[in-house]
Chain A
């Protein structure tokens, strides 16, 4: 019965989340919800309980009545074997002190928020006259 409860909570959560976040911004048929999901869980679990061997799974595919936040194609793109293989990454350089920008040169301004940010105001704030250095993103042991 734990699974039934979990399924219920899951669907409630995702329906609620979809309503809050306005999923209209996402694709129509590409959302994860098109996958078989927990809605099929209980029935499939009963079927699979009788087949313990790691053979082809029996999954009952039912489209969800809602869409989750992650596109199916992105999940697939982020989960192939190729993305896991250790290999050369981006160009890495020692960080040099930022010199004063020259006229017309690209510049960067950074804003930092410790509290949850609100939506951007309709009129963009004035750009600082002197661009600041981008605060470095942290990486530490994990």
Chain B
């Protein structure tokens, strides 16, 4: 790794894509980086969005039980999602789309949250192992198991952060940091330590705890929380992190988990799995060498691995 130059200029810009904010920092030309980022994320959205009728994912979900030719981007995203399930014994599960729809999360979150209460009717059966039947041809085809619907919410955004950071670095050779709604990937040849502020809500608005600022010099970082992406259905506050063993939102144990990893996807798999694992999460994370910061439902912070004291 090379060291940083004597005077580095870092430019940054925020814009929206994939239904969330994009925070882009680069040592290179910001305009061309933003332009390329917008194009890459538009392609990802068109391939992977569950809320677009014209997306490849929507077509594949409508053809469950059959192979569907898709953009190779979706094939790659599904590969990552199924691999995440394999790494977590199905805890981070891409086959919960039908459950999320049943719980009311069937459109962009702003639309879902604007609705008045509606019943939450879960599917009669929970096939938590259906992910094992998902098949992918990386050249551009996906097989969705019969009766299942893919939802890539647990992995696609983090994977897109990886994809974007790698694309920017490969194309322009600059140091970059990409944050897609808080899923962060660092790219570039230098060992630059990027400052990152950790909050439970966007911009820390509504947080009980003070923001924590750390630096990270490579790889990825992701934060998963049951405090965001919440809505009311069945007279109950629902959140988007489902436990595949029950098909219901994960039981409250951790409310926010931030984890690092060699990539953003790996970090996000770790943080999501930790939310679902509950009390078992610290041991699970430590066994994998993951550095993490967990906030339990009482607001107590737990630090795992090399996570620095606040």
Contacts and interface: CB of A to CB of B under 8 A. Distances in A.
B96 interface: no
Interface in B47-98: 53-54, 56, 59, 63, 65-73, 76-77, 79-80, 83-84, 86-87
Contacts of B233: none
What range describes how many residues of B lie at the interface? 35 or more
Contact of B76 (A44, A51, A75, A107): A75
Given A79-B76, A135-B195, A52 B291 contact: no
B141 A59 contact: yes
A75 B226 CA distance: 30
B288 A137 contact: no
A139 B170 CA distance: 24
Interface in A43-63: 44-45, 48-49, 51-52, 54, 56-61
Contact of A140 (B14, B143, B225): B225
B267 A140 contact: no
Contact of A86 (B155, B229, B290, B308): B290
Contacts of B139: 35-36, 59, 61
Nearest to A49: B66
Interface in B34-50: 34-36, 39-40, 42-43, 46
B104 to A, nearest CB: 19
Nearest to B310: A94
Nearest to A68: B43
A59 B70 CA distance: 10
A72 to B, nearest CB: 7
What range describes how many residues of A lie at the interface? 35 or more
Contacts of A94: 213-215, 308-310
B137 A57 contact: yes
Given A35-B139, A84-B80, A112 B214 contact: no
B301 interface: no
B217 interface: yes
28 contacts: A10-B46, A32-B73, A38-B69, A44-B69, A48-B67, A54-B135, A57-B141, A58-B67, A59-B137, A74-B166, A78-B166, A80-B83, A81-B83, A84-B87, A94-B214, A106-B4, A109-B7, A112-B12, A117-B13, A127-B7, A131-B7, A134-B25, A134-B195, A136-B195, A139-B198, A140-B223, A141-B226, A141-B227
Given A48-B66, A86-B290, A89-B221, 4 more contacts: A36-B72, A80-B83, A119-B31, A142-B183
